[in-house]
Chain A
Amino acid sequence: GAVVSQHPSRVICKSGTSVKIECRSLDFQATTMFWYRQFPKKSLMLMATSNEGSKATYEQGVEKDKFLINHASLTLSTLTVTSAHPEDSSFYICSARDFVSGGFNQPQHFGDGTRLSIL
């Protein structure tokens, strides 16, 4: 089955640091990947849609200069949290869909998430 790998699984760093999170589709090509944020005991909130070879599409209220997204290949998207502060601490999850195999009715496959803690 389709596998999405997310790395790192956990990051603890000081305020002001920039943190990069990688999301890879391991056995399929993903022209589109998605980045979500999840607060404790809350549901997932879509932050942005990452498009291979073009600019990401950000949801309302998400600062694009704060959360930089790069989707340089069909199997890799990265999310960089720039100058992170304690309020950026959260669980970040990426997903991808094997659009080639079945379009929008293919299920989205999720990475295992990254727990980001800013001290």
Chain B
Amino acid sequence: KQEVTQIPAALSVPEGENLVLNCSFTDSAIYNLQWFRQDPGKGLTSLLLIQSSQREQTSGRLNASLDKSSGRSTLYIAASQPGDSATYLCAVSNTGTASKLTFGTGTRLQVTL
């Protein structure tokens, strides 16, 4: 059974700092990995999707990497802004059940002025 863990559970950084969020998964037979952002009381916004054959994806100030063999992904946020404050979730879909996503517990990020 796939298990997804995110560290740290919460993080507070001053504006402008670069930061890294971590995601690890126990079953490396994944189809893809997706990073989401969730604002309080809201649904999820898809940030980046990395296919199993890819090593990284970039969108603006965000860069996500994937090391499938070690069961790890990182989300790098450059030059953080207060508007980046949210909970960040990673989720994996496994081969064989490619439609289903298994979510991590999330990292709650606060960027302070």
Contacts and interface: CB of A to CB of B under 8 A. Distances in A.
Interface in A54-91: 91
A110 B99 contact: no
Contacts of B36: 110
A6 B41 CA distance: 13
A117 B91 CA distance: 27
Interface size class of A (residues with CB under 8 A): 20 to 34
Given A44-B89, A105-B51, A107-B34, A112 B43 contact: yes
Interface residues of B, number: 24
B74 interface: no
Contacts of B101: 34, 44, 46, 95, 108
Contact of A49 (B32, B89, B93, B100): B100
A111 B102 CA distance: 17
A113 B43 contact: yes
A11 B49 CA distance: 32
Nearest to B34: A107
B58 interface: no
Contact of B32 (A32, A95, A104, A110): A104
Interface string B17-60: 00000000000000110101000011111100101000000000
Interface of B: 31-32, 34, 36, 41-46, 49, 51, 89, 91, 93, 98-106
Given A44-B101, A105-B31, A107-B49, 6 more contacts: A6-B43, A42-B105, A43-B103, A93-B44, A95-B44, A104-B98
Interface of A: 4, 6, 32, 34, 42-46, 49, 91, 93, 95, 97, 104-113, 115
23 contacts: A4-B43, A32-B99, A34-B100, A42-B105, A43-B104, A43-B106, A44-B89, A95-B101, A97-B99, A104-B93, A104-B98, A105-B51, A107-B34, A107-B49, A108-B34, A108-B46, A109-B46, A110-B43, A110-B44, A110-B46, A111-B43, A113-B42, A113-B43
